[in-house]
């Protein structure tokens, strides 16, 4: 039977009935008593803390569970009316497209064009149909310029968009996405959500989107399903989810919801537009003259305060006229152009910029992995680098083998990872693998003289909820207090607000902004926190500042009424 016809016969794009699953060797189940029905054309956001079961649910929906991961499965899983117990991922590709957290693990061809063509070739499509489909999906995702590129030259964000294109090229009726915006800059992330909504509304594609940065996608959702310790903790509309999250799992709530809940204002806004409309109704405007405190971030986040001048601190990264060329397959390209940068001991710096701006190249050049064409970069007190791909660090068969003894246990505790020592790293969620790689990179290097002068982390928050990002912020604080500078490349503006004293913004290989965090991350459209976009006030960037401002504004309004 034709896959789309089989879906129509069942009436559902996806259906789980009493689904349970346990990974091989795991002590506890990853999924328990899952009952879920996804209608054709629904847009569902899949929420949940790291390790709550989101990735496992998506793997079950595309057939990776049990055909790739093995383990014990019970109940039933139907995709387009077909059982995933009987059909594996390749057989289900026409019914369900899947984008994993680690897109580099899905790419098998030499060039991007060949990768997009591969599923169509397997399906037996005519060459003309294949060429048209590849061109259309490349245009839809804004990647036609990548088609001739070899996949090994792609950045993390480019790889993510290619993996999505592969999932979409066969035009399946169901798309399953695991953290698809985690390596995308704010502009590309918004464009991707817009594209998914367009596919959903115009083509009737059902979308199940697992995300931690819910502020990016909640307003687009018809429905939210929240995983909680392997079970479905909530299933309903977005506003109801926010009420549930504030009461049960505040680390899942969006920044604007946390701000409004902290100030006692209801209903909670689903997005920035609703938040700003409520503020207008309450007559809270940007003309209010309250001073914005740089602190008072509250219990839900750390506060970032601009540090005292650091001229007396030693330089741990210094670059002068740094110029780097890379060859993506069609000739050398200038990736870094005349970078002058100085980072001193104890600083916490967010390195930001659009995809392809040169962030990863700068970190890898500082670590000695890339040779500059001209200029120089020095790290006189040593450097530790965690690259974007956690697979670079995971080479053994179990977590215990990756990190042995008290030193390994201390590193795992520092990154907030608590998993059985005999667990296979391949069976961990994307966020858990990221933290395991971070622990490996820092094991034995977090105390005293062992601390390197510079710790560089490239997109370390992929797969992490707000609580685990808090662990990472605490780790950065600890390392900075011991004299290390912490330089984190990130697209996650909300994380940058909690961790950074300073932001270095790259654009097309050049430093285009370098200042205190509140200066760079307020007043903009994209490189701005949700609090900054809601209130549009210079320096107001954090959840705690938003709560404080709303409370004071309401108190002043009450005084005026009296």
Residue 283 belongs to some domain of the structure = yes
Q: What is the DSSP letter of 81?
A: T
Residue 212 belongs to some domain of the structure = no
Q: Are residues 425 and 504 in the same domain?
A: yes
Residue 560's pLDDT is what? 66
pLDDT at 266 over 50: yes
pLDDT at 3 over 50: no
Detail the DSSP E strand segments found in 369-411.
Answer: 374-378, 383-386
Report d(CA 478, CA 476) in Å as an integer: 5
The mean-pLDDT minimum among 267-276, 428-437, 499-508 falls in 428-437
Residue 561's pLDDT is what? 60
pLDDT at 368 over 50: yes
Report d(CA 479, CA 511) in Å as an integer: 25
Both tokens of residue 475? 């780790």
Collect all residues with Cβ–Cβ distance below 8 Å to 248 and sequence separation of at least 6: 228, 233, 234
User: Using 50, 70 and 90 to split pLDDT, how confident is the model at 558?
Assistant: low
DSSP per residue, 133-156: HHHHHHHHTT-GGGTTSBGGG--H
Owning domain of residue 143: 109-171
Residue 14's alpha-carbon distances to 10, 36, 58, in angstroms, are: 9, 8, 11
Q: Are residues 295 and 155 in the same domain?
A: no
User: Using 50, 70 and 90 to split pLDDT, how confident is the model at 484?
Assistant: very high
146-187 residue pLDDT tens: 999 988 888 777 888 898 899 999 999 999 999 888 878 888
Q: What mean pLDDT is reported for the chain? A: 87
Alpha-carbon Rg for the chain, nearest whole angstrom, is 24
As a whole number, mean pLDDT of residues 523-542 equals 92
User: Using 50, 70 and 90 to split pLDDT, how confident is the model at 559?
Assistant: low
Residue 495 near residue 332, CB atoms below 8 Å: no
Q: Are residues 412 and 340 in the same domain?
A: yes
Q: Are residues 400 and 530 in the same domain?
A: yes
Q: Are residues 368 and 353 in the same domain?
A: yes
The H or E element that residue 349 is part of is: strand 348-353
Residue 93 belongs to some domain of the structure = no
Q: Are residues 374 and 486 in the same domain?
A: yes
Q: Are residues 484 and 337 in the same domain?
A: yes
Query: Bigger pLDDT: 555 or 223?
Result: 223
Q: Are residues 294 and 366 in the same domain?
A: no
Residue 452's pLDDT is what? 87
Residue 274 belongs to some domain of the structure = yes
Query: Bigger pLDDT: 89 or 272?
Result: 272
pLDDT at 310 over 60: no
pLDDT at 287 over 50: no
Of 120, 137, 171, which marks where a domain is finished? 171
Residue 316's pLDDT is what? 95
Residue 321 belongs to some domain of the structure = yes
Count of the separate structural domains present in the chain:
3
Q: Are residues 279 and 350 in the same domain?
A: no
Residue 203 belongs to some domain of the structure = no
Residue 131's pLDDT is what? 95
As a whole number, mean pLDDT of residues 37-52 equals 94
């Amino acid at each position: 039977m034709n896959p789309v016809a089989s879906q129509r016969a069942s009436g559902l794009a996806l259906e789980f009935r009493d689904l349970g699953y346990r990974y091989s060797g795991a002590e506890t189940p990853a999924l328990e008593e899952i009952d879920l029905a996804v209608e054709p054309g629904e847009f569902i956001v899949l929420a949940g803390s790291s390790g709550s079961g989101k990735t496992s649910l998506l793997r079950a929906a595309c057939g990776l569970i049990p055909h790739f991961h093995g383990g014990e499965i019970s109940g039933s899983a139907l995709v387009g009316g077909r059982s995933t117990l009987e059909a594996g991922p390749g057989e289900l590709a026409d019914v369900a497209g899947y984008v994993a957290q680690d897109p580099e693990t899905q790419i098998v061809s030499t060039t991007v064009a060949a990768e997009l063509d591969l599923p169509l070739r397997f399906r037996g499509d005519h060459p003309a149909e294949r060429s048209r489909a590849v061109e259309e999906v490349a245009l839809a995702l804004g990647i036609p310029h990548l088609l001739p590129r070899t996949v090994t030259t792609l950045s993390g964000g480019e790889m993510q968009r290619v993996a999505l294109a592969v999932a979409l090229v066969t035009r399946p009726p169901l798309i399953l996405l695991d953290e698809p915006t985690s390596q995308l800059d704010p502009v590309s992330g918004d464009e991707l959500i817009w594209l998914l909504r367009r596919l959903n509304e115009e083509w009737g594609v059902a979308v199940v989107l697992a995300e931690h940065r819910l502020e990016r996608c909640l307003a687009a959702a018809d429905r939210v399903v929240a995983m909680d310790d392997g079970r479905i903790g909530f299933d309903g509309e977005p506003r109801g989810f926010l009420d549930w999250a504030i009461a049960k799992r505040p680390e899942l709530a969006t920044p604007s919801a946390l701000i409004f809940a902290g100030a006692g204002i209801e209903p909670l806004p689903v997005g920035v537009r609703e938040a700003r409309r409520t503020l207008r109704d309450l007559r809270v405007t940007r003309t209010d003259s309250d001073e914005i405190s740089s602190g008072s971030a509250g219990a839900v986040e750390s506060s970032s305060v601009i540090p005292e001048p650091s001229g007396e601190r030693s330089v741990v990264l210094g670059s002068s006229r740094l110029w780097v060329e890379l060859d993506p397959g069609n000739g050398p390209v200038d990736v870094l152009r005349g970078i002058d940068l100085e980072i001193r001991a104890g600083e916490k710096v967010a390195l930001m910029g659009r995809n392809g701006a040169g962030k990863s190249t700068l970190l890898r050049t500082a670590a000695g992995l890339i040779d500059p064409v001209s200029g120089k970069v020095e790290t006189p007190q040593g450097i530790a680098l965690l690259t974007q791909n956690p697979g670079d660090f995971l080479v053994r068969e179990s977590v215990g083998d990756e990190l042995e003894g008290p030193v390994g246990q201390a590193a795992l505790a520092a990154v907030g990872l608590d998993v059985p020592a005999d667990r296979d790293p391949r069976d961990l969620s994307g966020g858990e693998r990221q933290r395991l790689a971070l622990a490996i990179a820092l094991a034995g290097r977090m105390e005293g003289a062992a601390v390197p002068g510079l710790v560089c982390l490239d997109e370390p928050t992929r797969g992490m909820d707000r609580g685990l990002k808090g662990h990472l912020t605490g780790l950065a604080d600890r390392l900075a207090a011991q004299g290390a500078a912490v330089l984190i490349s990130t697209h996650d503006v909300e994380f940058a607000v909690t961790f950074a004293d300073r932001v270095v913004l790259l654009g097309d290989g050049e430093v285009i902004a370098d200042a205190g965090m509140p200066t760079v991350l307020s007043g903009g459209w994209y490189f701005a926190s949700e609090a900054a976009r809601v209130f549009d006030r210079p320096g107001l960037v954090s959840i705690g500042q938003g709560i404080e401002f709303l409370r004071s504004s309401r108190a002043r309004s009450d005084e005026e009424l009296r």
